[in-house]
Amino acid sequence: MNARTTQPHTDAPAHITWWPRVVAAFGLTVATLLAYRTWTADPLPGCGGASGCAELLAGRWAYWLSPHLPVAAMGLLTWIAINVAAWLRSARPWLMPLAVLAAGAAVWFIVVQAVFARQWCPYCLAAHAAAFVLLIGLLIQRAPMRLAVNALSLLAVALLVAGQLFAPVHPDEIIAAKTDPNEPLAVTPRATSTDTQNKTNTDTVADTDTNKNTDTTPEPTSAYADFPRLGPADAPHTLVSFFDYTCRHCHQMHALIDAAREQHADRLAVVLVIAPLNEFCNPRVNYTAPDHRDACRLARMALAVWRADPSRFPEMHDFLMNAPGPTPHQPADARVFAVSLVGEDAFVAALADPITGDLIERGAELNFETGQALDPPADNVLPKTVLPDGRVVLRLPRSRDAFLQVLADAMNTSLRNRRNNTPPDTPAPPSP
């Protein structure tokens, strides 16, 4: 009689079978969607271009050490490894350490969403939930704890946190590359009555006169001629700011732009292009997040003040950009302040002026087309800031000093190119 042979002992219990595979498959599916969103910039359902979710997936917390290392790719690799460990018995001893790694990273990214970004990504939360379910399930079933390997998992989580919090950022990392650095940002704004005088310039947002050796900004292009401008009309450098009054990061960028204007005084002017992240007035937005429900009304009120009395617009702009709390000013408060600046009759007349609505429509389109010209595309990403040498700062820089250094370099490059009568490496931004 043949003796029954026993299976060799392993530290992975045989009863861990189907349920980790289900959880692992779910986590892998979500991780694949997040990686796809990162690599293609295509919106996910419920996470469109104007939502806080989309801003989070495109912002600084979506990368590790540099914009070239997306955390979505790291998450995808982790969930692939979890699936291998769940399906292959020989790899099952690694299931617990991988669950510790995934759950530890989940704790960190929940802290990021709640404390730092103050924006939530439902897909990320779904992946985090899968990691917690996997870890808790393994603990309940008393899966073996390989302390040394689990310690390595926690060390990997610590490196993830350190890489996101403390990694030095080179100023160039806040710059978005154009599809072709030798070509200007191509936009074709809808023609208006103010465009007919300069039709030859409407195909690009930048136009430099290489026959002149001058330190002044090129002649205004029709695409931006009607938009609000801060700073001296004869400033040698122009910066173009795309923003939304309900965008929290835009409020922070406003402070950086103010610091730049203070530092460069009469050498820098700023063109303000409002691109509301609200589908009611911006057809390029597919989904309106709750944070942006008042975007159209605030934009229209600000532009009404600009139309009624341009000299009072800076006060209105600062008022809307410096809301006392994390949420923007209410439309009722904004209207009271606007009326106090220009008077009831002038405000109502400017509010009803078709040109006011036209500026919103044109700003939304220019923002979209400027974003489409970048590589990768960033159509509805805000804030978006076009520097004097034509490069584009996307979203919010990690530090004030980094932004000011990039701006100073851009101003020097633009000035040097004009003095040398040579085309810039990247064309200058649109000048109003």
Average pLDDT over residues 345-349: 96
Q: Please say which residue of 165, 181, 198 terminates a domain.
A: 165
Q: Are residues 149 and 179 in the same domain?
A: no
Amino acid 17: pLDDT: 73
Write down the pLDDT at residue 421. 64
Q: Are residues 45 and 158 in the same domain?
A: yes
H or E element at residue 129: helix 122-140
Taking the CA atoms of the chain, what radius of gyration do you get in angstroms? 26
Residues 287 and 383 in one domain: yes
Looking up residue 328, the CATH number of its domain turns out to be 3.40.30.10
Mean pLDDT of 18-36: 95
Which of 165, 188, 214 is the last residue in one of the domains?
A: 165
Which tens digits make up the pLDDT trace of 117-162?
Answer: 778 899 999 999 999 999 999 999 888 777 888 899 999 999 999 9
By DSSP bridging, strand 237-243 and strand 268-274 are parallel
Q: How many domains does the chain contain in total?
A: 2
282 pLDDT band, cuts 50/70/90, is: very high
Average confidence (pLDDT) over 252-277: 92
Residues 6+ apart with CB under 8 A from 155: none
Q: Give the predicted TM-score (pTM) of the model.
A: 0.60
Task: With a cut of 60, say whether residue 322 has pLDDT above it.
Answer: yes
Are 101 and 179 in the same domain? no
Residues 6+ apart with CB under 8 A from 165: none
Q: Are residues 311 and 397 part of one domain?
A: yes
pLDDT for residue 7 is more than 50: no
Q: Which residue has the higher pLDDT, 38 or 139?
A: 139
pLDDT at 284 over 50: yes
Confidence at residue 95, expressed as pLDDT on a 0 to 100 scale: 94
69 falls within a domain = yes
Rounded to the nearest integer, the mean pLDDT of the chain is 80
Q: Assess whether 188 and 161 both reside in one domain.
A: no
- Within 13 Å, how many C-alpha atoms sit on residue 129's CB side? 8
264 in a structural domain: yes
Confirm whether 7 is domain-assigned.
no
Q: Do the domain assignments include residue 209? A: yes
Q: Is residue 90 part of a domain?
A: yes
| Cα–Cα distance, 415 to 417 (Å, whole number) | 5
Q: Does residue 218 share a domain with residue 103?
A: no
The pLDDT confidence band at residue 39, using thresholds 50, 70 and 90, is confident
35 is in which domain, residue-wise?
18-165
Q: Is the dihedral of CA 96, 97, 102, 106 positive or negative?
A: positive
**What DSSP designation does 375 have?**
E
More confident residue, 368 or 431: 368
CATH code of 94's domain: 1.20.1440.130
Would you give the distance in Å from CA 361 to the centre of its chain?
21
Task: Indicate if 185 and 127 belong to the same structural domain.
Answer: no
Q: pLDDT per residue over 41-62, tens digit each?
A: 677 887 765 556 776 786 778 8
Q: Give the end of a domain, one of 165, 185, 210.
A: 165
**The pLDDT of residue 9 is above 80:** no
Please tell me whether residues 121 and 199 are part of one structural domain: no
- Whether the per-residue pLDDT at 250 is higher than 60: the answer is yes
Whether 37 maps to a domain, the answer reads yes
| More reliable by pLDDT, 343 or 198 | 343
Residue identified by tokens 């050498």 is: 267
Q: 383 and 340 in contact (C-beta within 8 Å)?
A: no
Whether residue 282 is contained in a domain is answered as yes
Same domain? 149 vs 211: no
The answer to whether residue 215 is domain-embedded is: yes
Same-domain check for residues 179 and 278 = yes
Same-domain pairing of 293 and 415: yes
Q: What percent of the chain has pLDDT over 70?
A: 77
**pLDDT for 51:** 58
